[in-house]
Amino acid sequence: MIAAKARELLVEAGLEPKPPQLQTVVPLLEKASLEEDLSIQSMWATPLANAAASGARAGVQRLAVEILAQVSPREALILRHVYEGYFKKEAEYQADPTRTRQDGPPAEFAAFRPSDLHRVSQVDTRDGDLLLDNLLRLGIMRFEVPEIEDGQNVYPDFIQLTELAVLDECLEAPVAQQ
């Protein structure tokens, strides 16, 4: 299933598969073979397709394998939601004439309330907090920086992405180079 889906992604992109680096593909196939959930299996197909499209990002691909092996189906829902939310925010950012970067906003530009992420993952607050704790532990997300107001800590209300590269490897299908 995973290899067939990866091949399909490469065909859709008009790419011929190249031999991926064994350091990437062996752990990927080993860990992906243990996954029973169909939504996570499709997420495994994307890094496999990316590895077969190009070995240029082998370090990020290996990191994606290690992180994806530790993500539950409910956490995958959160990651997809956050990833899509980032690109919605990116469109707003690109339309802003006062923006300071030309290449797009930093990952932390997209911030999410934990309660919204609980709802996306379809769990209660206690279980949702555990899911978010795992994503925080994996370094995919972080709480915004606390502020101090009137000498008191104001704890953050939002969770932000820390980096897009790993999510790109897991969620963004390969594309042919122009």
**pLDDT confidence band for 177 (50 / 70 / 90):** low
In tens, the pLDDT along 86-101 reads 888 877 877 877 777 6
- Give the distance from CA 103 to its chain's centroid: 19
Sort 149 into a burial class: Cβ within 10 Å, 0-12 / 13-18 / 19+: exposed
In tens, the pLDDT along 128-170 reads 999 999 999 998 888 877 667 777 766 667 888 787 777 888 8
**pLDDT confidence band for 55 (50 / 70 / 90):** low
Q: Are 121 and 110 in contact (CB under 8 A)?
A: no
CATH architecture assigned to 73-164: Orthogonal Bundle (1.10)
Name 53's Cβ contacts closer than 8 Å, sequence gap at least 6.
Answer: 10, 13, 15, 17, 18, 174
Q: What's 35's DSSP letter?
A: -
Instruction: Please state, in angstroms and rounded to a whole number, the distance separating the CA atoms of residues 42 and 1.
Output: 8
Half-sphere exposure of 124 (CA within 13 A, CB side): 1
pLDDT exceeds 80 at position 66: yes
pLDDT greater at residue 17 or residue 161: 17
Name 172's Cβ contacts closer than 8 Å, sequence gap at least 6.
Answer: 46, 50
pLDDT for residue 18: 87
pTM strictly above 0.85? no
pLDDT exceeds 70 at position 14: yes
- Give the distance from CA 98 to its chain's centroid: 28
Q: What is the mean pLDDT of the chain?
A: 84
Record the tokens describing residue 36, joined without a space: 């029973």
Instruction: Please state, in angstroms and rounded to a whole number, the distance separating the CA atoms of residues 68 and 28.
Output: 9
pLDDT exceeds 60 at position 178: no
CATH 1.10.10 domain residues, the chain? 73-164
Record the tokens describing residue 57, joined without a space: 């990002």
* 3-class SS of residue 149: strand
